A and B are shown apart, each in its own frame.
Chain A
Amino acid sequence: MLVMKEKLDIILSSFSGEGRELIPVLQKIQEEMGYLSPEAMLYAAEFLKIPPSNVFGVASFYEQFRFSPVGKKIVMVCQGTACHVKGAEKVMNEISRHIGIKEGQTREDMEYTLKGVACIGCCALAPCITINDDVHGRLTPKLIEKIFIKKPVNKKTNE
């Protein structure tokens, strides 16, 4: 807890503590800590002198803010029109089967987070996904398997 407090003190040191700084403060916290934890939001509320319920209200309004930690690899499956036509749903199911989590979830070992997103702008490569900053296009079941190599132990339990 104390470590967390010190970390937040450093993160917030460039702000002056006024209510209008709420969104930049939340962005900075997420950038540094990966997500908005309840403790971090309470701390921001105290720092900016605004009620915690307001902090949560604003944070939950924007898609960009996360309330749970994300995995090392964030997998975003494009669900734009082109990808949809080219079988985005199948891609999602396939990836989900490989990494063992459903859309919107983060794996317990914090390795993967799986999300469906609107068009990522690579329609020519449909169906496509991004893993962190890398784009993978024209996906097929084989390609997906290659990207998400399954560990033998998992394979056994899965089958």
Chain B
Amino acid sequence: MSDVNIIIDGIEVKAKAGKTILDAALENNIYIPNLCHHPELVPTGTCRMCLVEVEGISSVVVACKTIVRQGMSVSTESPLINSTRRATLELLHINHKQDCTNCKKNGICKLQEVTAFVGVNEGRLKLLRKNKPHVPPDKSNPFFKLDHDKCILCGICIRTCNEIQGVDALQFAYRGYHTIVSAFLNQTIKDSVCESCGECVVRCPVGALVPKHTSMPSREVSSVCPYCGVGCGILLGVRGDKITSVTGIKESPVNKGRLCVKGRYGYEWVNHSERLKKPLIKKGENFVESSWDEALTLIAEKLSKYKGESFATFSSAKCTNEDNYIIQKFTRAGMLTNNIDHCARLCHAPSVAGLAQSFGSGAMTNTIGELGKAGCIFAIGTNTTESHPVIALEVKSAKKNGSKIIVANPREIDLCKFADIWLQHKPGTDVPLLMGICKAIINNGLEDEEFINSRCEGYSEFKESLKEYDLKNVEKITGVPAGKIKEAAKVYASMGPSSIIYAMGITQHTHGTDNVLAISNLAMLTGNIGKKSSGVNPLRGQNNVQGACDMGALPNFFPGYQKVLEETVIKKFESAWECKLSNKTGITLTEIIDAIDRKKVKALYLVGENSLLSEPDANHVKEALKKLEFFVAQDVFLSETACLADVVLPAASFAEKDGTFTNTERRIQRVRKALNPIGESKPDWLITCMIAQKMGIKGFEFSGAKEIFDEISKLTPSYKGVSYERIDKTGLQWPVYDKTHKGTPVLHKEKFLTSNGLGRFAKLKYRPPAEIPDKEYPLLLTTERSLYHYHTGTMSRRVDGLNVLNSEELVEINPTDAEKYRLKDGDKVSVESRRGRVNAVIKTTKKCPKGVISMSFHFFESPTNVITNPAIDPVAKIPELKVAAVRIQKT
């Protein structure tokens, strides 16, 4: 936009056209007092502090709502302005609790700042100050409190909740003197729809909204959030040996300063008293603390006996790239097997397999930040608000910018509120739904012929296969009216650029790979790939699940998805690692459990996984793990699974080590050491190196994470151009081909990464889920995640406040079904499948369709995965965690 020249207080300054006077002044370092202004929010002009006079306009105007014009002359002070400001400010002061010395905002309070500039008459304040009726503070939220007596009614919290979060928990209520910021019915914040993200607390200009537990840090360390795959940039505030605050990094292109409740407040676990501090060795039934030397000697002696196919490793998507690289190197070069896998098997294995088949690379094709500018966002099988909260903000902001939102989900998830079209298909009918949409697109001639002809192959066979998906038939299978499918098809195909986001609702099926292929078909059919704000975007679960895959913690790939069976690749790694490598593909996580059960695999090295809660048919997993001859677990806590181990090694958390995480959009970001390791714990890479050295294996003499990363970038083509120096401030998105390449925000721009450069259409057949409800087990169980907890709860369950917000496993059920089974909210029930039974508590909600119940898997007290189905996808070997037949009974 062009610049205009304006004069502020006689000084000529430049301002961007379209900016307000206030923005122009502040950008030119001219202060105009303001209270209700926030650069990220739409101005409302309520506080009346930024009043200015403009030549030619007889009355005063509010600077935050007046747009600059060429030649405009502005006075920021005059007798009229000053007296008006002072009077307004005094009215705020007489209702404001005088508690500055005791206030957490002392020194950073905007009311103090404005008062220092404008000045108030203390004598008059004394006369005016009445005892405003005291409104008790709302302390219900475990993480922050709302003190009405300090509130200046600027509305920043309300606008934040509306404009940024789209939650609308707060609004002004009552009138005049009695006006307060209030939730619906003036209920407490905890009982309201508030998601506890704390964005309002961060923006509150005064001491009205303040965090309860965080205190001012003595130093801050820049790092990456350890929860989900979004990879938000955070500043860890440290005081002594404790983390005391977490702040979102504004400059981070990923989160732009925003965080969710877990990221901002869920850090207590790092300093939790239950952290493992010394190695533990099982003697008899119990664990006994030991020295590192004793534990390492025992492990080295035992593991030496199991080199080859009788050994397996579970690596961890919670650990850094450096950790994962070392762990897979140890497994391959030290233990001479490719039997290594990690929890990606349980989440996005079908994405890796499916997208590799269609596009040649299995990762998010585009960037999180591009979502906000998409013409259409199609969210299928993702409860984004709960599982990837900060990405959900991008979807909501896209909606505000005029994008069309299509949601496909059996449950009425939060995003449905923002959706233009909601396709409520039956669980497990994604292939017919997506193929139906493709069919409708072709019927209406909305396909992108040029893209199909020049960039893809297999189209005619694909088109032929669509004959099966007559829309009437699709309606019958999916339960979605044909009209709605046509409407969605039209919007997706014509409102581009259209971006697809998806997650576990697509992948955790016995037809997970087919689902992913169906999504690829849809994107290629309309040419919605290879350009900005389009693409196929699997939202990865764990903070570093993308990195763990990139690093080759997979049975069939070396780092950088280099195939373990390719002769040249084997040679490359043999010469780099100076060893002889196995030429056999390893077995997957689900297969490793079976192999342990059949006593084929006899020794297991498990890093940071909690298989007893995360795998389907958990009873079977437990029985299998008991058959191991030697079992080493490495974790920050003594997890349910680690309890079965022979030796447990204490690992340092993300806050205690250096390294890198790669987020869902392929961005490699720096993780930095903020604390010394707790107790005698050590970074995972160091522990693995110590085991290797004890066993006399060469190639593990690293002095630090940086040295490991240098080896990674040497051997991994997509990481070749990355170094710690280059990602010091902002991460880079792989592939980064050399030291000057700026990374790749959008994949497949000119050609696909397949061998011939063409995208491949796939013919698909509908296969129903492996287990469908019947007379004996009449309900369909689907699993999901809660915003307030993370996976098996190892971290989030050790944060008191998160337990307050979500304290127990809830079985969500439609009110009609609840009535049928005579159940009401709070009833204790047992949920039983062919594999086992768990107890939980009933919550009735219309969000659940009839015949479907939903549970999370965060609670060890109610291990949902005891009842889920281990039936696996034939290609990706992912279990069908999203569909199981169950029955329910009051206990």
Residues of chain A touching chain B, judged by Cβ–Cβ distance below 8 Å, are 38, 41-42, 51-57, 60-62, 67
Contacts and interface: CB of A to CB of B under 8 A. Distances in A.
Select the residue from B168, B184, B192 with max chain A CB neighbours within 10 A.
Answer: B184
A60 B184 contact: no
B168 A57 contact: no
B182 interface: yes
B170 A53 contact: yes
B158 to A, nearest CB: 8
Contact of A51 (B168, B172, B173, B186): B168
A43 B355 CA distance: 44
B821 interface: no
A41 B184 CA distance: 9
Contact of B183 (A53, A61, A62): A53
Contact of B173 (A38, A42, A60): A60
B175 interface: yes
11 contacts: A51-B184, A53-B171, A53-B182, A53-B183, A53-B193, A56-B186, A57-B171, A57-B182, A60-B174, A61-B174, A61-B175
Given A60-B174, A61-B175, A38 B168 contact: no
A56 B175 contact: no
Given A61-B174, A61-B175, A56 B168 contact: no
B430 to A, nearest CB: 28
B17 interface: no
B169 interface: yes
Contact of B185 (A38, A51, A61, A62): A38
Interface string B320-340: 000000000000000000000
Contacts of A67: 185
Contacts of A53: 168-171, 182-184, 192-193
Nearest to B175: A61
Interface string B158-191: 0000100000111111110000001111100000
A16 to B, nearest CB: 19
A52 B168 CA distance: 8
B183 A60 contact: no
A110 B772 CA distance: 52
Nearest to B166: A51
B46 to A, nearest CB: 14
B175 A60 contact: yes
Select the residue from A38, A53, A60 with max chain B CB neighbours within 10 A.
Answer: A53
Given A42-B184, A55-B184, A62-B175, 8 more contacts: A38-B184, A51-B162, A51-B171, A53-B171, A53-B183, A54-B168, A60-B173, A61-B173
Contacts of A51: 162, 168, 171, 184
A62 B173 CA distance: 10
A57 B173 contact: yes
Nearest to B184: A52
A56 B174 CA distance: 9
Contacts of A60: 173-175, 182, 186
The A interface is mostly helix, strand or loop, or mixed, namely: helix
Contacts of B182: 53, 56-57, 60
Nearest to B178: A60
Contact of B184 (A56, A61, A62): A56
B756 to A, nearest CB: 49
A111 to B, nearest CB: 26
Contacts of A38: 184-185
B757 to A, nearest CB: 47
B418 to A, nearest CB: 11
A103 B169 CA distance: 32
A51 B174 CA distance: 16
Contacts of A55: 184
A48 to B, nearest CB: 13
Contacts of B172: 57
Contacts of B174: 60-61
Contacts of A61: 173-175
Nearest to A52: B184
Interface in B53-95: none
Contacts of A57: 171-173, 182
Select the residue from A57, A61, A67 with max chain B CB neighbours within 10 A.
Answer: A57
A60 B179 CA distance: 9
A104 B282 CA distance: 69
A52 B161 CA distance: 13
A121 B297 CA distance: 96
A62 B176 CA distance: 11
Nearest to A2: B815
Nearest to B162: A51
B701 to A, nearest CB: 60
A54 B185 contact: no
A60 B175 CA distance: 7
B1 to A, nearest CB: 32
Contacts of B185: 38, 41, 56, 67
A38 B193 CA distance: 14
A42 B162 CA distance: 18
A54 B171 contact: yes
Nearest to A61: B175
A144 B442 CA distance: 81
A54 B169 CA distance: 9
B248 to A, nearest CB: 24
A41 to B, nearest CB: 8
Contacts of A54: 168, 171
Nearest to A62: B175
Q: Which 3 A-B residue pairs are closest in the complex by CB-CB distance?
A: A51-B168, A57-B171, A53-B171
Select the residue from B162, B170, B171, B183 with max chain A CB neighbours within 10 A.
Answer: B171
Interface string B497-538: 000000000000000000000000000000000000000000
A53 B173 CA distance: 8
Contacts of B186: 56, 60
Nearest to A50: B168
A55 B184 CA distance: 8
B133 to A, nearest CB: 15
B234 to A, nearest CB: 29
A60 B181 CA distance: 12
Nearest to A55: B184
Contacts of B193: 52-53
A54 B168 CA distance: 8
Interface in B19-62: none
A53 B185 CA distance: 8
A60 B174 CA distance: 5
Contacts of B175: 60-62
A55 B185 CA distance: 9
Interface string B179-223: 000111110000011000000000000000000000000000000
A29 to B, nearest CB: 15
Nearest to A42: B184
Contacts of B184: 38, 41-42, 51-53, 55-56
Contacts of B171: 51, 53-54, 56-57
A8 to B, nearest CB: 15
Select the residue from A56, A61, A62 with max chain B CB neighbours within 10 A.
Answer: A56
A67 B173 CA distance: 13
A57 B161 CA distance: 15
A29 B174 CA distance: 19
Interface string B618-643: 00000000000000000000000000
Contacts of B173: 56-57, 60-61
A60 B184 CA distance: 10
A105 B185 CA distance: 18
B546 to A, nearest CB: 35
Contacts of A56: 171, 173, 182, 184-186
Interface in B742-766: none
A42 B168 CA distance: 13
A51 B193 CA distance: 10
B177 to A, nearest CB: 13
Nearest to B174: A60
A38 B883 CA distance: 36
B222 to A, nearest CB: 36
A129 B192 CA distance: 40
